[in-house]
Amino acid sequence: MPYRHYKGGAYRVTGLGRFEADLAPVVVYESMRDRSILWVRTAEVFTEPVRTDAGEMPRFAPDWPAALACLDFLPRQTVLQALALYEAPYRRYHDRTHVLEMFEVAHARGLALSPAQALAVLFHDAVYVPGCEHNEAASAALIETMVGDVDADVLRQAMQIVLDTRTHTPTAPDAATVLDLDLYRLAAPAEAFDAYTAAVFEENRALLARRTGLAGAALHADFMARRVEFLTTLAQRERLFLTPAFADAEQPARDNIARIIARIAAALPQA
């Protein structure tokens, strides 16, 4: 998430470190306008308040996206802690970008997410281990662990929505909108869709290599066969998108699926 300097500049934190001389914590960051150089400040200076004509304010503060206003019932620290769960280096698809994108799409389409829906989006992939059958259950359970001072009924509804993302079949009230947001990347332009497919492969590469004993082109071909099987099953549904707000995404998503299936079929040896 970008940070805004009190003078107006936008910056991105790239990492935390230690100053060699005394092991003081430091923040490493870059300007969004010029990424050719990294900047370093001690953590104390980075976060300290400064006096301005408008009063005291943080030297750097998170540049909170308008799309996250639906989470204003939570402390911002809780939101940042939840987003940090998506930063594991092996995550190439189920990452922070995917979660923030879901909020951005909802905001752009004028969808007012309820607290339960917003929590479900924030936590739906909070726990993600490639090949694990319990990711959704663990992610749902994490809501109760990390979120306090929220009505118990809201928490239960959010947890059930997260569980519904496993099968993409809504059982909880208001789950359909979250499921549509989660699948929205299926309707991306062809180039972006292919990039997402490549990200899923990278995310699962190590697991598939161990399980199949394959490598290189053979491993990628095995992955694509599995991907096509998954997408073919998905395409057999009467509707991919369940709410009127995403009716326009139905045909682009089906076009992407058909294109990938045709590509794989063309690459198979002819009988």
Task: Identify the structural domains of the chain with CATH numbers, from first to last.
Answer: 3-62 (2.30.30.320), 66-183 (1.10.3210.10), 185-267 (no CATH)
Model pLDDT, residue 77: 81
Give the start-end residues of each E strand in 48-189.
49-52, 55-58, 60-62
Q: Is the dihedral of CA 52, 57, 62, 64 positive or negative?
A: negative
Q: Tens digits of per-residue pLDDT, 154-191?
A: 999 999 999 999 999 999 989 999 999 999 999 999 99
pLDDT in tens, 183-207: 999 999 999 999 999 999 999 999 9
**Residue-averaged pLDDT of the chain:** 94
Report d(CA 13, CA 11) in Å as an integer. 7
Categorize the per-residue pLDDT at 268 as very low, low, confident or very high, splitting at 50, 70 and 90: low
Q: Please tell me the pTM assigned to this model.
A: 0.83
Q: Which of 73-87, 130-144, 178-192, 222-236 has the lowest mean pLDDT?
A: 73-87
- Tens digit of each residue's pLDDT (9 = 90 or more) over 202-225: 999 999 999 999 999 999 999 999
- Look at residue 72 in the predicted model and tell me its pLDDT: 94
Indicate the Cα dihedral angle 144, 67, 113, 84, nearest 10°: -20
Alpha-carbon gap, residue 222 to 208, rounded angstroms? 9
d(C-alpha 158, C-alpha 164), whole Å: 10
Q: Is the pLDDT of residue 266 over 90?
A: no
* Stretch among 32-41, 134-143, 242-251 having the lowest mean pLDDT: 32-41
Task: Please list the residues that pair with 25 across neighbouring strands.
Answer: 18
Per mean pLDDT, which range of 54-68, 116-130, 177-191 is the poorest?
54-68
Percent of the chain with pLDDT over 90: 84
Instruction: Over range 26-43, report the average pLDDT.
Output: 93
**% of the chain residues with pLDDT over 70:** 99
pLDDT, average across residues 120-146:
97
Please name every residue paired with 60 in a beta bridge, in sequence order, or none if there are none.
Answer: 5
Q: What is the pLDDT of residue 148?
A: 87
Checking if the pLDDT of 40 tops 90, the result is yes
